């Protein structure tokens, strides 16, 4: 792994810890999120940002690599995930997709970087007249990429005529437990989340 990819991994780790602290490390309920997925999606939008917005995003995401090498570094990091998955016998799938309003102008550099390094091709769509159809397409894409685990990501009414761009990032993981439960040691019983519940 090159120095830029290592910087991305270190930044992702710091971002994950910051986000976990903000989401509530002291919560009583379960919390599950994918910081790698979030930082990938936000780094995609970072490419299109400028000025103070770009500075604030870089700070929040702990992006230390030069802007031009950021997406190749993310791609290199993703390749290590894929190689680890193949070696270790689990399945890890990640996919990105952009859907943008048909009549909107997007920076050519933004589209080239997201396509080349993130596999996030832009599909031009008509949010004004086909918002529901686009919503269903996005939901079907997410459901397919997550092996049916995430359905109806975008609720009815979630897209409308003022929508300009939807960036979708889907991640799925399937693996075996390193220490599986012994089937003969399990049984049906009430499950208690606390002494009184």
- pLDDT of the residue at 60: 93
Residues paired with residue 123 on neighbouring β-strands, in sequence order = 99
29 is a domain residue: yes
Tell me how many domains the chain contains. Answer: 2
Residues 55 and 97 in one domain: no
Supply the CATH number for residue 157's domain. 3.30.497.10
For residue 19, what are the domain limits? 1-89
To the question of pTM greater than 0.75 for the whole model, the response is: no
114 is a domain residue: yes
Residues 71 and 108 in one domain: no
- pLDDT of the residue at 194: 80
- pLDDT of the residue at 96: 82
- pLDDT of the residue at 77: 75
Residues 52 and 124 in one domain: no
80 is a domain residue: yes
Residues 103 and 76 in one domain: no
Domain boundary among 55, 89, 123: 89
Count of alpha carbons within 13 Å of 9, Cβ hemisphere only?
12
Residues 8 and 80 in one domain: yes
Mean pLDDT of the chain: 84
195 is a domain residue: no
Query: Which of 35, 139, 15 has the alpha carbon at shortest distance from 81?
Result: 35
Domain boundary among 89, 119, 138: 89
Residues 71 and 128 in one domain: no
71 is a domain residue: yes
Residues 78 and 12 in one domain: yes
| Mean local confidence (pLDDT), 181-187 | 87
- pLDDT of the residue at 159: 96
DSSP the chain: --HHHHHHHHHHHHHHHHHHHHHHTT-SS-----HHHHHHHHHHHHHT--HHHHHHHHHHHT--S-HHHHHHHHHHHHHHHHHHHHHHT-EEEEEEEEEEETT----HHHHHHHHHHH---EEEE-HHHHHHHHHHHHHHHHHHHTTTSS---SPTTSS-TT--EEEEEEEEEE---SSPPPGGG-------SSTT-
194 is a domain residue: no
| Mean local confidence (pLDDT), 168-185 | 83
pLDDT confidence of 82, banded at 50, 70, 90? Answer: low
Residues 80 and 105 in one domain: no
Residues 110 and 34 in one domain: no
pLDDT confidence of 88, banded at 50, 70, 90? Answer: confident
Residues 119 and 132 in one domain: yes
Residues 51 and 106 in one domain: no
pLDDT over threshold 90, residue 163: yes
22 is a domain residue: yes
| Mean local confidence (pLDDT), 104-108 | 85
Domain boundary among 89, 117, 146: 89
Residues 1 and 83 in one domain: yes
């Amino acid at each position: 792994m090159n120095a830029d990819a290592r910087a991305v991994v270190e930044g992702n780790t710091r971002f994950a810890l910051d986000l976990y602290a903000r989401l509530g490390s002291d919560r009583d309920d379960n919390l599950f999120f994918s910081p790698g997925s979030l930082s990938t999606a936000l780094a995609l939008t970072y490419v299109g940002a400028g000025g103070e917005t770009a500075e604030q995003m870089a700070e929040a995401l702990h992006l230390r690599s030069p802007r031009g090498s950021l997406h190749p570094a993310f791609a290199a990091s993703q390749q290590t995930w894929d190689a680890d998955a193949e070696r270790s016998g689990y399945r890890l799938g990640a996919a990105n997709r952009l859907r943008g309003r048909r009549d909107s102008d997007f920076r050519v550099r933004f589209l080239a970087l997201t396509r080349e390094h993130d596999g996030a091709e832009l599909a031009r769509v008509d949010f004004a007249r086909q918002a529901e159809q686009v919503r269903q397409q996005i939901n079907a894409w997410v459901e397919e990429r997550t092996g049916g685990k995430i359905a109806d990501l975008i609720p009815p009414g979630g897209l409308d005529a003022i929508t300009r761009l939807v960036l979708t990032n889907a991640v799925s993981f399937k693996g075996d437990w390193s220490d599986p439960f012994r089937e003969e040691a399990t049984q049906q019983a009430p499950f208690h989340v606390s002494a009184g519940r």
